[in-house]
Copies of this chain bind each other. A is one copy, B any other.
Amino acid sequence: MHCRELTKPDGRALYLYSRSPIDRRIVATNPPHPISKPNPHLRWHPLRGEWVVYASHRQDRTFLPPKEYSPLAVSRSAEFPTELPQGEYDVAVFDNLFPSLTLSGEDPEREIVSTRPARGHCDVVVFTQNPDTSLGGLPVDHIALILEVLGERTRELGSRKDIQYVLPFENRGVEVGVTLHHPHGQIYSYSFIPPVVARMQKMAKEHFSQHHQSLFSDLIAEELNASRRVIARRASALAFVPVCARYPYETWVAPIRSVPYLYELEASERRDLAITLKTVLSKYDRMWNRPFPYLLTLYQAPTDGEPHPEAHSHFQIYPPYRTRDKLKFLAGTELAAGVFVNDSLPEEKARELIDVECPVYE
């Protein structure tokens, strides 16, 4: 992987990644925007025992612009700069112009609950220069490069003392609230371990101390043995609708080997993971012959400096549809109680996905 680190005229960082060497003459750009110093802050939610982020500058963020004004398109000319400079490269990562978390936050006003600067970092990850494709539509090599980029960003961000957790994710489709159509993901880096992650850590640690094995690895072994929910399989990676899917078409994509962080994978494992991920995303799009929206998230171990033998890095994908024309809404029981109701059986949805014809990627 080739990488170049640049600084945008407005001071934000830009990283370019490519499978081939990157032209050293490329200069970082940014679209014109009013100068702002975002200062998001945290407030403690005493009833739920969790932090809530307040980022009021985000109300002004770019919302579904027409294609010719996309800030993620490659700059067409020096007069119309965007977030992406002209030149040859595969993937670009830069500081979000409207970050929910920043490393430079100042102390917020006092409130009746505890407050803090919303420290952390928000990356935008542009998957490709092509605005008309998708993560799953990219060649295997290109997806493998993206996985490498997510791993490297996790390593870099996670090495900071003030970053405890790095969360790469992709929101795809207006159904999940996407505000820019160009294929891209994001990386949120938190100064604390988020509550969902803390809960998952707790469960994984309990299992590990009892069984001396990663909980996720044990689950994989059982899913492989049961086999009926496995929708893609390579030597070192697999994809399955988990036995406990909360969303009808929920799919998990994982390396077989238990690694706490994505950057610990060998190139061959990363390639298998890319192929498996591409297979799932291709099946999604082929099922109803239209782009299939989802939230895709990469879970890794916290970057809190502790060893995490219990962690097994993997992707979880949550599609919002429950049938071709009906969305699964999160409502009373899900949002107020935290109890998900799934109107379908994971085995049945897995069968639908298994049956979708799809090329064998290599």
Q: Which residues of A contact B (CB under 8 A)?
A: 43-56, 58-59, 63, 100, 111-113, 165, 167, 169-171, 176-177, 186, 188, 190, 194-197, 199-200, 202-204, 207, 215-216, 219, 222-223, 225-226, 243-246, 295, 297, 299, 316, 318, 322-323, 326-333, 335-345, 348
Contacts and interface: CB of A to CB of B under 8 A. Distances in A.
Given A176-B329, A177-B329, A197-B337, 11 more contacts: A46-B203, A47-B215, A50-B339, A52-B244, A52-B342, A54-B344, A58-B341, A165-B337, A188-B339, A194-B337, A194-B338
Interface hub of A316, A323, A342 (most chain B Cβ within 10 A): A342
A186 B332 contact: yes
A202 to B, nearest CB: 7
Chain A interface secondary structure, helix, strand, loop or mixed?
Answer: mixed
Interface hub of A63, A219, A338 (most chain B Cβ within 10 A): A338
Nearest to A223: B112
A167 B215 contact: no
A56 B244 contact: no
B190 A337 contact: yes
Contact of A200 (B48, B55, B196): B48
Given A58-B343, A196-B338, A332 B46 contact: no
Contact of A297 (B45, B197, B332): B332
Interface hub of A323, A327, A333 (most chain B Cβ within 10 A): A333
A327 to B, nearest CB: 7
Given A46-B203, A167-B332, A335-B295, A340 B55 contact: no
A63 B340 contact: no
Interface hub of A226, A299, A330, A343 (most chain B Cβ within 10 A): A343
Contacts of A327: 177
Given A55-B343, A167-B336, A188-B337, A46 B329 contact: no
Contact of A52 (B100, B176, B246, B328): B246
A330 B194 CA distance: 15
A108 to B, nearest CB: 10
A54 B22 CA distance: 51
20 contacts: A44-B244, A47-B219, A48-B203, A49-B202, A50-B339, A52-B246, A53-B333, A53-B342, A112-B225, A112-B226, A113-B244, A167-B337, A176-B329, A176-B331, A177-B328, A188-B333, A188-B337, A197-B338, A295-B336, A297-B335
